[in-house]
Structure 1
């Protein structure tokens, strides 16, 4: 584990799931404390609080202020109908990947990305106590994606499929801003690429126009602080591994 990853684990492991609404938090603490929560309580996320989060997040930066995004938030019966639609699709004969010409990731994956992905998966299943040999148990856990891991709110990010790769990057900045604004208010999140595999089903469900597509989703709610999986803290590459410093006077 890198020095950076160790610092994050030591400083934020307890804070990430024990913040309370109204507690003042700095930007750096929010960045280090935010983590993907994969077990939520049944506590509702009130519409007013969600609107506060999204009202701040809409100020995320975008090139030329294009704001290349839309969002669809679902709760209650609307959330349940999304879950049912995806469950029906998965139970049908045509349950293949619907990511289309925008796959979640390339296949096969090369280094160093393959090792990083493998490591976080093994760490997660280690927290769950599920060995590699128990593939059915791993698949059952992954199926929780389709139920937002129990979160009361699902948030979907929509983009115009005719936009370029730059606009996809800008959409990512919106997602990060949503997650940080949520963390500031004691709300947990999990960004879910899983929903890209159900794009056609979601497009029909939400009656999207042909030029729009779902990028991915996000689960929002309150973390189950008793769930071992929520203690997972993913590693990060060291700063010197990902950044070259040129032209600076050596310290």
Structure 2
């Protein structure tokens, strides 16, 4: 078991004024799992054992949720099921007439972009395309790269997340913490992930393929999970983060 995994699975006692802080190695392991998380865009085909997936989801389910509602529903795809969903979405994505018939159910991004958000969006896009040798204006190459989302970036595991339509905005906040838990728990086991809102455009195909009741279940997002390909240039991308002073105000008087 890695140091990450040991720290993630060890149950710490409830803190009290008399107790000492966690050991430095515990803090280091948890911080390391969080800070080493990146969106991986090319995976090795190496299978992930079902027992590992179940352990990750069990840990992730400790995410907080308002009045313990636990609003998450997870659909795990591997093998033929993953390949079948990928093929259906890619067929629609690569056909302009079909793609035009598929739209997102909710706005993930702002309808009006402004700084600093548009600047960050542009930078990460061009940083990735620069690594891949995709020039500005090369729409076929951009289309192909975006389409890799629907192959789950070659990962052996694809996750589709849904939520009951009766749940409101607070439950979506809870859902984000659950998703983060999955990604951190995966890192604790040496695995990598890529959360993907791209799947929301094709929610109707997902609903049909997974036999979801679209009247009650809504697709939240997808996620690729597996072992990162260390030879892939796109996996060297490390996105920038603003310093604490830029997004924080301390109120102490």
Normalising to structure 2: TM-score of the pair?
Answer: 0.86
Instruction: Tell me the equivalent position of 1:244.
Output: 249
Instruction: Tell me the equivalent position of 1:24.
Output: 3
**What secondary structure does 1:223 align onto?**
coil
1:152-231 alignment to 2 at 5 Å? 152-209=156-213, 210-231=215-236
Instruction: Tell me the equivalent position of 2:37.
Output: 34
Q: Does the CA-based 8 Å contact 1:40-1:221 persist in structure 2?
A: yes
Q: Partners in 1 of 2:159 and 2:30 — Cα distance?
A: 23
Q: Partners in 2 of 1:223 and 1:200 — Cα distance?
A: 29
1:221 CA displacement: 0.6
**What secondary structure does 1:61 align onto?**
coil
Q: Does the CA-based 8 Å contact 1:89-1:201 persist in structure 2?
A: no
**What secondary structure does 2:224 align onto?**
strand
Q: Does the CA-based 8 Å contact 2:90-2:147 persist in structure 1?
A: no
**What secondary structure does 1:199 align onto?**
helix
Instruction: Tell me the equivalent position of 1:106.
Output: 110
Q: Are 1:120 and 2:99 an aligned pair?
A: no
- Count of residue correspondences: 226
Q: Tell me, which stretches of 5 or more residues in structure 2 are unaligned?
A: 5-28
Q: Tell me, which stretches of 5 or more residues in structure 1 are unaligned?
A: 1-21
TM-superposition CA deviations, 1:161-199 (whole Å, max 9, x none):
231111111101100000000000011100011111111
1:51 CA displacement: 1.1
> Which stretch has the larger CA shift, 155-164 or 215-224?
155-164
Instruction: Tell me the equivalent position of 2:61.
Output: 58
Q: Partners in 1 of 2:34 and 2:135 — Cα distance?
A: 31
**What secondary structure does 1:214 align onto?**
strand
Q: Choose 1 or 2 for highest CA Rg.
A: 2
Instruction: Tell me the equivalent position of 1:71.
Output: 74
Q: Partners in 2 of 1:76 and 1:246 — Cα distance?
A: 52
**What secondary structure does 1:109 align onto?**
coil
1:81-160 alignment to 2 at 5 Å? 81-92=84-95, 93-96=97-100, 97-100=102-105, 102-160=106-164
1:55 CA displacement: 1.3
Q: Does the CA-based 8 Å contact 1:104-1:196 persist in structure 2?
A: no
Q: Partners in 1 of 2:33 and 2:140 — Cα distance?
A: 35
Q: Partners in 2 of 1:189 and 1:50 — Cα distance?
A: 12
Q: Partners in 2 of 1:175 and 1:56 — Cα distance?
A: 11
TM-superposition CA deviations, 1:128-150 (whole Å, max 9, x none):
12121322112111110010000
